[in-house]
A and B are shown apart, each in its own frame.
Chain A
Amino acid sequence: MSPDHSMPLPFEDPQGLERLRQQMLAFARLQLSDEHLAEDAVQEALEGALKNASSFTRQSTLKTWVFSILRHKIADILRGRYREPVREHCKECASDDDLFDEGGHWQAGATPRRWGGTQDLVDKTQFWRVFDACLEALPPEQARVFMMREFIELNSAEICQSLELSTSNLHVLLHRARLKLRACLSENWFSEE
């Protein structure tokens, strides 16, 4: 049936389990910026998944399941935990790049052009590595709200409440993040036609 059948399940394979745990920890740390909370979230997610481990016959199904539990745990923590000081000024909201001219039009060379090959990502692992580098190159607040919105799938209201941001500041941050991510991916991955 599935080629994965020949491979041991992560839970039967200590090295596989440790690898999975490290991947989960990296994800949780990035989201929570707190080592202890990240470890707790990962531990709880793994324990939750272990209860049902026998029902998974394929590694990929199990990974999907474990990560989905982890995402929910992180979302719960983010919703409840953040009470950072109110931001009077949103310093990353300022137009800090030179994508547009004074009239708000694309600068020469910054105009988006059609991406080649979005349908067919031959090397996904390599793509996500480039994506990761592009995300890390963003100002931290922009990267964080983008992750909360797109990877954890919190809605605007939840993110605003968590970070005590105004809706309009959130929208500015997401706009900036998308502009820069798009530009970075164009430059480093998608060949523009």
Chain B
Amino acid sequence: MLSCEQATRLQSERQERSLTMKEKMNLTMHTAICSGCREFGKQVDSLRQLIREDRNCHGSEYPKSRDSEK
């Protein structure tokens, strides 16, 4: 069984490369019983999505926000 550290590592790497069948199986088994890692996976996906949406729809609010503080 994967540890949470290993599971989150795979969830992060999933953003850069396809996982192998074995990695996917191990991850699925882990997240089936670990709610913390399940949430981590979703939140990592949300982060990427938020950044892309912001860029595509709003002409990159970030990092303009840093300058809007006068």
**Contact call B43/A64, Cβ cutoff below 8 A:** no
Q: A132-B66, A182-B40 are in contact. Are A171 and B9 (CB under 8 A)?
A: yes
**Contact call A100/B4, Cβ cutoff below 8 A:** yes
Nearest residue, chain B, Cβ from A177 = B12
Q: Number of B residues contacting the other chain (C-beta, 8 Å)?
A: 38
Give the A-binding residues of B (Cβ under 8 A): 3-6, 8-9, 12-13, 15-17, 35-37, 39-40, 43-44, 46-48, 50-51, 54-56, 58-69
Give the B-binding residues of A (Cβ under 8 A): 19, 22-23, 26-27, 30, 60-65, 67, 99-100, 103-106, 111-115, 118, 121, 124-126, 128-129, 131-132, 149-151, 155-156, 170-172, 174-175, 178-179, 181-182, 185-186
What number of residue pairs across chains A and B have CB atoms under 8 A from each other? 118
Can you give 5 A-B contacts (C-beta < 8 A)?
Answer: A27-B63, A106-B36, A155-B16, A179-B40, A182-B47
